[in-house]
């Protein structure tokens, strides 16, 4: 593995091995910003930070690139951020805006030499098998790569390892009918698509340095935190820095960012953060 030129720069430094980079591929709500046909100030803004594709991150670790969710914008996101290869995929939940770009991983098994590992809960696997039924057909493929080569790695609410890194799932509510997982990687936690974090899960977020959290808009919403609710959670967890994501077109980057409390920021497409995988 370590001789693969497509892996991230290996170093002999123990601390460097523990540091990773988070790349925000997308930070927008399910329809994206601009919203098709909308002529509001944010949707017509020339500020690139107001252009938000659907939510995903890549965690660039020494042993490879871990993609969290496969939104419909995946191909353009990976090209934009110049990420040539994904080594594993991890899913927060099965909503369309987090899943329907999965076919875009079709090239990677050629370069990896094995199917793409998909880390997800059983009910997400079932959904993927239904939606991407052509990838699981018994029929002999007409040519290599005609369908995505996918391998499931089931996860639960217990800690697990992916690409050599420890991941702690953060079970959360996402409206009345859905549960999602946030994930903690060392001193960093990614908690999108939620409007309720149970107390057991709040314990799992204790001591995080960087928290990414859902904040759709200013008014409350049935399945997402609004800005005020997200700030209440941030006040309880008290990370050094927090980033709001899954933002809709009510959020103008410049004006909202300048009014947020100290240490709280808006995420934007292309934002990169350095995190420490060893700290927890």
> Does residue 52 belong to the site contacting Zn ion (CB under 5 A)?
no
Q: CB of 247 within 8 A of CB of 266?
A: yes
φ and ψ of 273, to 5 deg? -130, 145
> Does residue 249 belong to the site contacting Zn ion (CB under 5 A)?
yes
Q: Closest approach of Cβ 112 to Zn ion, in Å?
A: 27
> Does residue 69 belong to the site contacting Zn ion (CB under 5 A)?
no
> Does residue 85 belong to the site contacting Zn ion (CB under 5 A)?
no
> Does residue 204 belong to the site contacting Zn ion (CB under 5 A)?
no
Among 69, 73, 97, 187, binds Zn ion (CB under 5 A): 97
* CA–CA dist 156, 34 (Å, integer): 35
φ and ψ of 104, to 5 deg? -65, -10
Span from 45-53, 64-72, 154-162, 185-193 in contact with Zn ion (CB under 5 A)? 185-193
Among 17, 18, 31, 43, binds Zn ion (CB under 5 A): 43
Cβ closest to Zn ion, residue 38 vs residue 279: 38
Coil/strand/helix, residue 257: helix
Among 52, 60, 87, 95, binds Zn ion (CB under 5 A): 95
Of 24, 27, 21, nearest to 253 by C-alpha is 27
Q: Closest approach of Cβ 52 to Zn ion, in Å?
A: 11
* CA–CA dist 77, 270 (Å, integer): 9
* CA–CA dist 111, 39 (Å, integer): 42
> Does residue 184 belong to the site contacting Zn ion (CB under 5 A)?
no
Q: Closest approach of Cβ 190 to Zn ion, in Å?
A: 13
The residues, any chain, with a CB within 8 Å of residue 280's CB and separated by 6 or more, are 166, 168, 184, 186, 187, 207
* CA–CA dist 194, 233 (Å, integer): 11
> Does residue 96 belong to the site contacting Zn ion (CB under 5 A)?
no
Q: Closest approach of Cβ 279 to Zn ion, in Å?
A: 28
Span from 126-134, 160-168, 244-252, 256-264 in contact with Zn ion (CB under 5 A)? 244-252
Cβ closest to Zn ion, residue 26 vs residue 64: 26
Sheet with 160-162, strands from edge to edge, namely 160-162, 165-173, 179-185, 188-191, 210-214, 241-245, 264-266
Span from 75-83, 96-104, 134-142, 149-157 in contact with Zn ion (CB under 5 A)? 96-104
Q: Contact residues for Zn ion (CB under 5 A)? A: 35, 38, 40, 43, 95, 97, 193, 249
């Amino acid at each position: 593995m370590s001789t693969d030129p497509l892996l991230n720069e290996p170093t002999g430094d123990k601390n460097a091995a523990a540091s990773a980079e988070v790349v925000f591929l997308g930070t927008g709500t399910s329809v994206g910003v601009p919203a098709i046909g909308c002529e509001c100030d944010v949707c017509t803004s020339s500020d690139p930070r107001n252009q938000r594709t659907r939510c995903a991150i890549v965690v660039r670790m020494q042993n490879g690139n871990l993609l969290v969710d496969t939104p419909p914008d995946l191909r353009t996101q990976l090209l934009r951020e110049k990420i040539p290869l994904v080594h594993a995929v991890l899913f927060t939940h099965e909503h369309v805006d987090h899943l329907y770009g999965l076919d875009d991983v079709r090239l990677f098994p050629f370069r990896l030499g094995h199917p793409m590992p998909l880390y997800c809960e059983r009910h997400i696997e079932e959904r993927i098998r239904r939606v991407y039924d052509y990838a699981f057909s018994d029929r002999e493929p007409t040519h290599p790569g005609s369908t995505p080569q996918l391998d499931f790695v089931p996860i639960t609410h217990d800690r697990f390892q992916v690409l050599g890194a420890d991941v702690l799932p953060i079970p959360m509510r996402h409206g009345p009918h859905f549960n999602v997982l946030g994930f903690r990687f060392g001193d960093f936690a990614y908690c999108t698509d939620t409007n309720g974090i149970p107390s057991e899960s709040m314990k799992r977020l204790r001591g995080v340095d960087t928290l990414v959290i859902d904040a759709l808009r200013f008014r409350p919403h049935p399945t997402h935190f609004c800005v005020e609710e997200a700030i209440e959670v941030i006040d309880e967890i008290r990370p050094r820095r927090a980033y709001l994501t899954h933002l809709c077109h009510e959020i103008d980057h410049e004006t909202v960012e300048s009014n947020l409390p100290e240490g709280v920021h808006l995420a934007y497409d292309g934002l990169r953060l350095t995190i420490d995988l060893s700290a927890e």
